[in-house]
């Protein structure tokens, strides 16, 4: 149980730092900020004893899935918008 707790703490710390800045990660800066804020909030709830490790892990997984969904949607939307602009130029 202690090893699982340490692992969850390390995951939360790593997620709150976010990925290294690349051209792709700059696409979702507002999404990244929201994600970091939520991870910090969940961590504070766990540290205060409001969330147990199981609840924290579940909410962290849910938060990650929403973050990924938003990132994918944003990137796909930008790709489609660029493709549509190119098609309009050739019409």
In tens, the pLDDT along 47-65 reads 999 999 999 999 999 999 9
Range 25-33 average pLDDT: 69
Mean pLDDT for the chain overall? 80
Does residue 8 belong to any structural domain of this protein? no
71, part of any domain: yes
pTM attached to this predicted model:
0.63
Q: Is residue 2 part of a domain?
A: no
Structural domain containing residue 90:
53-91
Total tally of structural domains belonging to the chain = 1
Instruction: Tell me the average pLDDT across 43-47.
Output: 94
Return the minimum-mean-pLDDT range out of 24-28, 36-40, 69-73: 24-28
The per-residue DSSP string of 21-89 comes to: P-TTGGGGHHHHHHHHHHHHHHHHHHHTTSS-HHHHHHHHHHHHHHHHHHHHHHHHHHHHHHHHHHHHH
Residue 62 lies in a domain: yes
């Amino acid at each position: 149980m202690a090893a699982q707790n340490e692992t969850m703490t390390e995951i939360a710390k790593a997620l709150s730092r976010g990925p290294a800045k690349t051209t792709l990660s700059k696409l979702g800066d507002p999404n990244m900020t929201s994600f970091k804020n939520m991870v910090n909030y969940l961590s504070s709830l766990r540290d205060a004893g409001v969330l147990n490790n199981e609840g924290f892990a579940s909410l962290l997984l849910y938060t990650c899935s929403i973050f990924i969904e938003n990132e994918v949607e944003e990137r796909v939307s930008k790709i489609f918008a660029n493709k549509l602009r190119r098609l309009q130029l050739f019409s």
